[in-house]
Amino acid sequence: MPVTIYGYRDAMSAFFEFPTENAREILPDHLEPVEVHHGTSIFAMTAFDFNESSVGEYGEVVMAVIVSPLVKPGERLPKSAMYPYLVATTTKAARDHAIERWHLPHFMEDIKLDFDRSTPNVGVARVSDMAGAPIAELKVAAHSFAPVNHLYQSFMADDSGKYLASIVMEGEQSEHEDEKGSIVLHDHAFNKALSIEDVYATPFRELWMRNGRQTFDPLKTL
C-alpha cells in the first residue's frame, strides 16, 4: 500500500496540561501518557486546514493525548506520539475516508471550522456544530517559522484491533513555549471526555505548521 499524502495550509496545535487521571480514562490500556509533571499529562488540540487530499479540501479537528512513542532499534526516532481520541471533520467524505483507512474515532456529525488569521502572528480556530453551538476556540501565536521534516506516531484502537500510523509532517513550523495562546472548551457532547475545568487554558507549547504536507505510511497492526 503506498503512502497517503494530505496537503495543508495550516495545522494549528497547542499542548495543554490536564490531569493524568483524565488521560488514563481516555487512553486504552496499552498506551502510557507522557507527563509534563508528575500527575500532569498533555492534551493536544490541532486544527487542520487541508487543501489537498483524495477527498478534496476540508477542515479537521484532532483531540489527542500525548503518549510514549514506540521506539525500535534501527528505525527513525519519532519526535513524539499521540492517541487521537476524537476527530471531527467538516465533510462526510473526509470522515468516512479517515474511519475506513485509519480507524480514527470520529464525532459522527459534520462540524464548522473557521480559521481567523486577521491578527498578525496569531491564528484562531473556532469550532462549532452545524446548529451553531460552540465547541471550542483555539488560539495560537507564532514565534518564527522554519522548514522541518518531523516523524510522529499516531496510535489507534477500536473493536477490530490496535494500530499505529507513522506520519511525517513537513512544512514551515513555529514552535514555542511563550504561553501566548489559549483554549476555550464549551460544554458540548464533543468535549465529554475531558474534565474541562481541569484543562489549563493556557498552552505550555504552541506548534503551528503551515504550507506543508502530512505523509502517512501504511497503517500497521500492533
Partner 1 sequence: MPPETNPGSNFAEYDYSNFYYGAGDDPMNLLGPFSEWYREALPNGYYLYSEPLQGAPETRVHVRNRKTGRIHDLINLASYNYLGISYRPEVKEAAIKAVEKYGLGASGSPILSGTFDIHEEFNAELARFKGKEAVVVFPTGYSANVGFISGLMRAGDSIILDQYSHASVVDGAILAKSNTVFFRHNNPLDLERKLGKAKGKKLVVVEGVYSMDGDICTLPELLEVAKRHGARILIDEAHSTFLFGQNGRGVAEHFGLDDEVDFHLGTFSKSLGGQGGFVAGSRKLVDYINAFGRSRFFSCNLSPVLVAGLLAGLRIVQKEPELRQKLWSNVAFLRRRFAEEGVDIGKSNSQVMPVMVNNDARVFAVAEKIQDRGLFLQPVTYPAVPKHKSRLRISVSAAHTEADLETAVRVIASVLREEGVCQ
Quickly tell me which residue has 495560537 as its cell.
Answer: 140
Gap between the Cα atoms of 21 and 128, Å rounded: 27
**Minimum separation from the CB atom of position 216 to partner 1 (A):** 18
- In angstroms, give the least distance from the CB of 178 to partner 1: 7
| Single residue of 25, 52, 158, 178 touching partner 1 by CB under 8 A | 178
Site for partner 1 in 31-90 (CB under 8 A): 31-32, 34, 37-40, 67-77, 79-81
The C-alpha cell that represents 146 in the structure block: 522554519
Least distance (Å) between residue 76 CB and partner 1: 5
Residue 29 contacts partner 1 per CB under 8 A: no
Buried b (16+ CB within 10 A) or exposed e, 11-27: bbbbbbbbbbebbeebb
In DSSP notation, 182-201 reads EEEE-SSGGGTTS-GGGS-S
Residue in the block written with cell 512513542: 69
Q: Grid coordinates in use for 126?
A: 473556532
The least CB distance from residue 132 to partner 1, in Å, is 31
The Cα–Cα gap between 86 and 111 comes to 13
Q: Which is nearer to partner 1, 5 or 34 (CB)?
A: 34
Nearest distance from C-beta of residue 137 to partner 1, angstroms: 21
Residues forming contacts to partner 1 in the complex (CB under 8 A) are 17, 19, 31-32, 34, 37-40, 67-77, 79-81, 143, 148-151, 175-178, 204-205
